[in-house]
Amino acid sequence: MQELDLEALLWSIAILALPLLMAIPARLVWHMYVGKTLDQQEYRAHVRAILDSGQSLERHREKLDDEARQRNISIERVRLIETDVLFPLGLHHFILLPALIILPVAVLLASPLFLLVLPLMAFTEWVLIDRKVLVSSLKYLQDWTKWGIIHIPQVHRDHDKLRQDLVSFHRMPRSVFLGLFAWLIVHWSFRSDFWLEFLIAGVIYLVMLSVLEVISNAIAAELVFADASRTSLMQVEAWAESYINPLVGVGLLFLLGRDLMAEARGGNSILFALTVLLVLFSVTVVGMAVEIGYAQRRGKKVRETFAQQVVDVLDPVSYSFNRHEDRLLLHVECSMQDRLLGKAIIKERDAVTFGMIDNLPSRLEVEDSLMPARPDISFFNPEE
């Protein structure tokens, strides 16, 4: 066994820690920027209280708008605060920011992946969604586990004022770290020329990314597994992430540590650390392109198509799940089909707003009705 080059190993660890050291102050600056005044922090706390009760922000929109006006908070700032509460950014997001520094190099390195990722995702969508492979797999999983599948609307349902750039950035780390995970697997297995490793890892990464992105966009259709034997509820999306995230996260740390130690004994660990950062920032650009080119353009369509397939095959029931103080309230509302068509019945416990009343159908819109004539009240006037 060759001797460990401790000095090179320490320099390598320092290089790999640079994005983390840059992410910590960036995260603090972001936190202060989002809620930099007391009024904004109080508004954020009010938004969090509504979400903790299980109710959507749109149901309380008039009240929130009034509070924002009273606190002199702009509409753009309201969008920023609500987006950050619903889709918070952590350290693992800000680790990716240094990719902007070497953006030209990262774009050049990732350009071959750009040409393949969108056609491959279109093919994956055709297989999983158009050919109904995903909904058939969900039906098989239900039959195998004996779990029920129900529909519970998410708290950000119908919220059309979110900052989509922040929502996309919130989703990026999963696809980015998946790319680094694929490259580390190939580097561990082949230990060949960098470009050969990058080519093989790129193909593996694009296949995994295509499947993961199509599935994650589809199962964001507010479906929930109901396991009566264990008295538990779990979102289908959260259930899938509970398997994917630990596998990628633990595998990433294990492979990174093993390859780093191997390079410190019989290679160039400093060059390896620089290569890791280059691959990380290159797949960051690919993840950004996937979010902009696919998730924002096709994500809603995929989600709606899959939701309709679920209705046709499984016909789930739609529930409301709210919290009042220490009481958790799970109520049957309607079928998922009625929820998708906007035919959910308004119950007495629901907050009725002027906006909801405004959207109710009117006979004037469907019939040739005449406005009633103004009554003659002249006989009430006293004689002159």
Condensed to tens digits (0 to 9), the pLDDT of residues 160-208 reads 778 888 888 888 888 888 888 888 888 888 777 778 888 888 889 889 8
Contact (Cβ atoms closer than 8 angstroms) between residue 182 and residue 286: no
pLDDT at 125 over 80: yes
Residue with tokens 């410190």: 264
Q: How many Å apart are CA 5 and CA 367, to the nearest integer?
A: 85
Query: By CB neighbour count within 10 A (0-12 exposed, 13-18 middle, 19+ buried), where does 315 fall?
Result: exposed
Tokens of 36: 């930099």
Tokens of 363: 């006979």
Contact (Cβ atoms closer than 8 angstroms) between residue 180 and residue 197: no
Q: How many Å apart are CA 287 and CA 311, to the nearest integer?
A: 31
**Helix/strand/coil for 148:** strand
pLDDT at 257 over 60: yes
What is the average per-residue pLDDT within 136-155?
Answer: 87
Q: What is each CA distance from 308 to 169, 212, 296, 297, 338, in whole angstroms?
A: 28, 20, 20, 19, 11
Q: How many Å apart are CA 59 and CA 69, to the nearest integer?
A: 18
What is the average per-residue pLDDT within 69-90?
Answer: 87
Residue with tokens 């994917």: 244
Contact (Cβ atoms closer than 8 angstroms) between residue 9 and residue 262: no
Which region, left, alpha or beta, applies to residue 50 given φ > 0 means left and ψ of -120 to 50 means alpha? alpha
- Predicted pLDDT of residue 384: 47
- Predicted pLDDT of residue 359: 54
pLDDT tier at 364, thresholds 50, 70, 90: low
| Residue among 311, 263, 328, 309 at smallest CA distance from 125 | 309
What is the average per-residue pLDDT within 113-138?
Answer: 88
Q: How many Å apart are CA 317 and CA 228, to the nearest integer?
A: 15
Least confident span in 6-20, 161-175, 324-338, 368-382: 368-382
Number of neighbouring beta carbons within 10 Å of residue 292: 13
What is the average per-residue pLDDT within 154-164?
Answer: 75
Burial 12-36 (b: 16+ CB within 10 A, else e): beebbeebeeebeebbeeeeeebbe
pLDDT tier at 133, thresholds 50, 70, 90: very high
pLDDT at 275 over 80: yes
Contact (Cβ atoms closer than 8 angstroms) between residue 232 and residue 328: no
Residue with tokens 């995702």: 121
Least confident span in 5-9, 75-79, 141-145, 314-318: 5-9
pLDDT at 282 over 50: yes
Q: What is each CA distance from 291 to 101, 221, 236, in whole angstroms?
A: 20, 18, 21
pLDDT at 265 over 90: no
What is the average per-residue pLDDT within 257-270?
Answer: 84
Identity at 61, one-letter amino acid code = R
| Residue among 118, 35, 126, 116 at smallest CA distance from 83 | 35
- Predicted pLDDT of residue 343: 62
Query: By CB neighbour count within 10 A (0-12 exposed, 13-18 middle, 19+ buried), where does 75 fall?
Result: exposed
Contact (Cβ atoms closer than 8 angstroms) between residue 178 and residue 248: yes
- Predicted pLDDT of residue 372: 66
Max Cα-Cα span within the chain: 118
Q: What is the mean pLDDT of the chain?
A: 81
| Residue among 206, 339, 379, 191 at smallest CA distance from 283 | 206
What is the average per-residue pLDDT within 40-61?
Answer: 82
pLDDT tier at 349, thresholds 50, 70, 90: very low
pLDDT tier at 128, thresholds 50, 70, 90: very high
- Predicted pLDDT of residue 348: 39
Q: What percent of the chain has pLDDT over 70?
A: 87
Q: What are phi and psi of 353, to 5 degrees?
A: -110, 165
pLDDT tier at 380, thresholds 50, 70, 90: low
- Predicted pLDDT of residue 155: 74
What is the average per-residue pLDDT within 46-70?
Answer: 83
- Predicted pLDDT of residue 126: 93
| CA dihedral for 121, 127, 132, 133, sign (positive or negative) | negative
